[in-house]
Chains A and B, each alone.
With several copies, the nearest count.
Chain A
Amino acid sequence: MENILNLWTGSGLYNITGGQFAMIVICLCLLYMAIKKKFEPLLLLPIGFGGILANIPEAGLALSAVENALHFQKPEVLAALAEALKVPFEAGQVVTDEVLYSFKEAYKGADSNALAAAQNVAADYGYANGMLKNFYNVVIGSMIGPLLIFMGVGAMTDFGPMLANPKTIMLGAAAQFGIFGTVLGAAFLTSMGIDGMSFTIEEAATIGIIGGADGPTSIFVASQLAPHLLGAIAVAAYSYMALVPVIQPPIMNALTTAAERKIQMVQLRTVGQTEKIIFPIVVLVLVALLLPDAAPLLGMFCLGNLMKESGVVDRLSDTAQNALINIVTIFLGLSVGSKLSADKFLDLQTLGILFLGMAAFAVGTATGVLMAKLMNVFSENKINPLIGSAGVSAVPMAARVSNKVGLDNNPQNFLLMHAMGPNVAGVIGSAVAAGVMIKFLAG
């Protein structure tokens, strides 16, 4: 009898909060967009699914052992934790929200010793990390996940078109203005003092990186500067990457004349294997000399690319592009999903993030296009400004958009290969931007 009661009081129906319900609905929408609308399904499907798991009442899949211990509020457990975390509390005391809050704050601010003590208490009372929490610690906490994805992306990237026309790299640089412009925007929004809509400089930077239009870079930066925003940041980044074909064309058309959009570019020279092999090493050395903080991200990217281009370790590059990146993608998605908890996501900040993220994409697109026009002022063999928008990266979607808009204006004008240059340059550009941000704001 009392067993059946336990089943009921332990059930999701009995315990579900409005927030959890809302988040589950939101995650179902993510799944719908991923499956039906094919919005970056490789990431949004596991993210959405992980989000549902994270919001299952009582399961605590996204909580750490200590958080799970706090959740069940057993007096003796709280007393032990109070001692470990140095929170004023004795066994008899009623557990008000203030008390719980003080525990959570103490846990967040705990130093390594207090933390270890609290974890020992939780373990001794039989509480463990939730499944998703373990995934998060291994895959994102250690940063290995985004780094391996980046290695795989490197192994899939062809720098040929960029090497054939190096000056298009500048377009990839200009488009990064979307990142830093958005930081400014976030600061401005904060200064307007809408309550609930304020950001620290770390949060602002993290939001800006959405403009990098590059999933692993966004996750990498968020995990270091503002882990509590990671869920919203990743969802925004991948959603907008999927929306590139909707966001970019109007901006591209608005900023260019029909004549400019018709510009035909000279056929690209073919790039030899030797150049392709040397390039990633050049990038690596440059990173080593100028920005060590970007070394992990760009280092793994260059390793992947070198494995591919060298042609002597095909079995490794093959694995990096398939088995390995797929395995990591599954866990990365679930780990990101574990950050989609109601208290973090159902928040005015999230609206701000979605709004600013969109702005970041738009600004990046615009500055890319404008840079192309600027370069045309000075050089005689003209660039079609439509390829400037590809500088935001979002490989290869943005390049395809450039190509499509080009064809709309001139059916003979195939810009795809030309757009791939700024497209891949944009990846390097935002990784460099990430390095700068981490250098100044991390730790």
Chain B
Amino acid sequence: MSELMSDAINLMVVGMGFVFVFLVILVFLTSIMSKMVSKYLPAPEPVVAKTKVKKNNASSDAQLLAVLSAAVAEYRSDQKK
């Protein structure tokens, strides 16, 4: 069998083997981690929500305000009619 062939088989065996070893360990670590987290530090959900909002940074907060006031103005003016 050509050297290339044997190299390829070699690479496949070692490579797939290692990928599996790595990810199996990851499965275990992850499961353990999740268990420990849920046991010792129950997740503070609200934080997630907060961050989502924070996502639009300072400048766009300003924007949000601008837009809001605009929207409200819009609404008021409509009321008048």
A69 interfacial by beta-carbon distance below 8 Å: no
Interface string of B26-38 (1 = CB under 8 A from A): 1101110110011
- List B contacts of A321 (CB < 8 A): 59
Q: Does A204 count as interface, using CB distance less than 8 angstroms? A: yes
18 pairs, A vs B, C-beta closer than 8 Å:
A4-B14, A163-B30, A173-B23, A180-B11, A183-B12, A187-B2, A187-B5, A273-B43, A274-B37, A278-B33, A278-B37, A286-B22, A286-B26, A290-B25, A315-B57, A318-B59, A322-B59, A436-B14
B68 at the interface (CB under 8 A from A): no
User: Are A429 and B27 in contact, with the CB atoms below 8 A?
Assistant: no
Q: For B34, list chain A residues within 8 Å (CB).
A: 163, 166, 271, 275
B positions within 8 Å CB-CB of A: 2, 4-5, 7-12, 14-27, 29-31, 33-34, 37-38, 41-45, 47-48, 50-51, 54-55, 57, 59
Q: How far is the CA of A273 from the CA of B45 in the complex (A)?
A: 7
| Among A166, A201, A274, contact of B43 (Cβ-Cβ < 8 Å) | A274
Query: Distance (Å) between the CB of A274 and the closest chain B CB?
Result: 5
> Does chain B have a CB within 8 A of A267?
no
Main secondary structure of the interface of B (DSSP, over half): helix
Interchain CB contact under 8 A, A205 and B57: no
How far, in Å, is B27 (CB) from chain A's closest CB? 5
A274–B8 Cα distance when bound, in Å, is 42
- A374 → B minimal CB distance (Å): 13
Cβ–Cβ < 8 Å partners of B15 in chain A: 176, 179-180, 183, 433, 436-437
Q: Does A190 sit at the interface, judged by CB under 8 A? A: yes
Q: Is the CB of A176 within 8 A of B50?
A: no
A88 within 8 A of B: no
Name the 5 nearest CB pairs between A and B, nearest first: A272-B43, A311-B51, A187-B8, A180-B12, A173-B23
Contact A311 B48 (CB under 8 A): yes
Residues of A within 8 A of B5 (CB): 187-188, 191
Inter-subunit contact B43/A436 (CB<8 Å): no
Q: Are A166 and B19 in contact (CB under 8 A)?
A: no
